[in-house]
């Protein structure tokens, strides 16, 4: 049998599906880990720039996950359980709100002892 992507069933397809599944898992785990950290730069302006960069990187990792999910669908492989969703959606919210939350939690330079 051949999938809609033109790749016949067999060891090559199975290996590709396994590799793509690993990419999805790693991309989501890294996006979650990035958004779960609060880098402390010691400077509000630099901190905001770092927060923006972290949000963009996490968004890129989630976009990678979505692209791989489409490829897996084309290969006729179901998405693994829980794939495509952050582990705790409520904890992270959207990337834009995450940066605001991270900035609010970071003490300002003058607050440090």
pTM for this structure? 0.62
DSSP 8-state code for residue 51: H
Is 3 within a domain?
Answer: no
Arithmetic mean of pLDDT, 82-91: 46
Q: How many domains does the chain have?
A: 1
- The yes-or-no verdict on residue 101 having pLDDT over 80 is no
Beta strand extents in the chain (DSSP E only):
none
Range of the domain at 22: 11-105
Q: Which of 32 and 79 is assigned the larger pLDDT?
A: 32
Across the chain, mean pLDDT equals 74
Is 1 within a domain?
Answer: no
| Tens-place pLDDT, residues 25-39 | 999 999 999 998 877
Beta-carbon contacts of 91 under 8 Å, excluding residues fewer than 6 positions away, are 36
List the single range of 16-30, 73-87, 88-102 with lowest mean pLDDT.
88-102
Q: Encoding tokens for residue 40? A: 């402390």
Q: Are 12 and 72 in contact (CB under 8 A)?
A: no
CA angle 106, 107, 112 (to 5 degrees): 145
Give the model's pLDDT for residue 94: 41
Q: What is the three-class DSSP state of 70?
A: helix
């Amino acid at each position: 049998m051949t999938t809609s992507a033109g790749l016949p069933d067999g060891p090559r397809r199975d290996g590709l599906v396994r590799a793509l599944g690993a990419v999805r898992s790693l991309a989501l785990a890294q996006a979650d880990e990035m958004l779960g950290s609060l880098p402390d730069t010691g400077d509000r302006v630099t901190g905001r720039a770092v927060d923006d960069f972290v949000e963009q990187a996490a968004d890129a990792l989630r976009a990678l996950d979505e692209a791989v999910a489409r490829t897996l669908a084309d290969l006729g492989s179901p998405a693994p359980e829980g794939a495509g969703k952050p582990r705790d959606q409520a904890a992270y919210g959207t990337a834009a709100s995450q940066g605001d939350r991270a900035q609010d939690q970071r003490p300002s330079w003058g607050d440090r002892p």
